[in-house]
Amino acid sequence: MRLPTALVIPDAKVDNYLLIRKAKNDKSQFLAKAGFTAENPEDLKTALRIQAVSADAVLDRIDDEYGQFYRVAGVWSA
């Protein structure tokens, strides 16, 4: 299935989770290798939206308090 083009990526998920360095389960260093940093969060949001709507999504987990979880596989280029 394809995700809707109007999907919502919460600012807090990007600004306060993905791009913030953490002692455990850090994602910011991986994303920084592709040029995504706290200084340019809109670039990451744009890349996530493009990736999310350009390939088929597979339901990864059923609903919980955060909603439904989908997995989209793709390749990013910096």
Q: What is the pLDDT of residues 3-45, one digit of tens each?
A: 888 888 889 999 999 999 999 989 999 999 999 999 999 999 9
pLDDT at position 57? 92
pLDDT at position 35? 93
Mean pLDDT of 46-75: 86
What residue segments make up the domains of the chain, in order of their start?
A: 11-72
pLDDT at position 77? 64
CB proximity list for 44: less than 8 A, separation 6 or greater: 14, 18, 19, 31, 36
Q: Could you say which DSSP state residue 67 is in?
A: E
**Per the structure block, which two tokens stand in for 17?**
């989770």
Q: The pTM is what?
A: 0.80
Strand partners, 59: 70
pLDDT at position 68? 82
What is the helix (H) or strand (E) element at residue 43, kind and residue range? helix 41-53
